Amino acid sequence: MTGNEDLHDVFDTSGQPPGLADAMLHPHGADLLAEIKEILRECESGKRLVEMASYQNIEISVISGRQGQKNTVSAHAVYLAIPARMKKPQPSHVLETAGAIREAEQELLGYKMPPKDADPVDIAAVVHAKYLDIIVNMCIIASELDEKSGEGVYAQALETLGHGDIYETFLASRGNEDDLLDTYFEFEEDQE
């Protein structure tokens, strides 16, 4: 979810949420983020994203909120919502963080959301391409982390996040774009 200009009124791009009450900041946010980054550094693709985020000064903030929410409001500001009761990151948090950083990286590379007044077909094409790219990056990281640990918890997290079919296709096709697109759009059609 990027390109939400309305969020700029609530979140500025310095990485600090000035319009948010202190109560919205996650009580264990710094520790959670440190552990998430440490886990991502355990695999090549995750390490690249963490290093890129540091080099590009992408500020990642953790706020209290529902599971499975992230927002990349600009190329330099990422917000992760994790339930306040959580003191340890779950595999889904690791993958969502990787996805949010990838989304910020897309912005830095000039791969932005089209303007709201653009042709709806063009908007849909860009949105789907961006989201599939993010999901594939999450699949790569899940594969690398699961291969390293031998546990399969990141594959399960992708399933929980609703990306299980794309992950299975990713593993079977080793990233074949046509296969991934077919699976992605089959999932999208099932959601309608």
Model confidence over 105-119: pLDDT tens digits?
Answer: 999 999 888 888 999
Q: Would you state the pLDDT for residue 147?
A: 94
> What is the reported pLDDT for 56?
95
Average pLDDT, the chain: 84
- Residue range 68-94: mean pLDDT, rounded: 86
Per-residue pLDDT averaged across 80-95, rounded? 93
Distance CA 80, CA 48 (A): 19
Higher pLDDT, 143 or 23: 143
**pLDDT tens readout for residues 37-78:** 999 999 999 999 999 999 999 999 898 887 766 777 778 888
pLDDT score for 34: 97
CA–CA–CA angle 131, 60, 159 (5° rounding)? 40
pLDDT grade for 10, boundaries at 50, 70 and 90: very low
Query: What is the distance between the alpha carbons of residues 19 and 79, in angstroms, rounded to a whole number?
Result: 14
Contact 10, 111 (CB under 8 A): no
Judged by average pLDDT, the poorest of 61-65, 82-86, 90-94, 184-188 is 184-188
More confident residue, 7 or 147: 147
Q: Is 113 left (phi over 0), alpha (psi -120 to 50) or beta?
A: beta
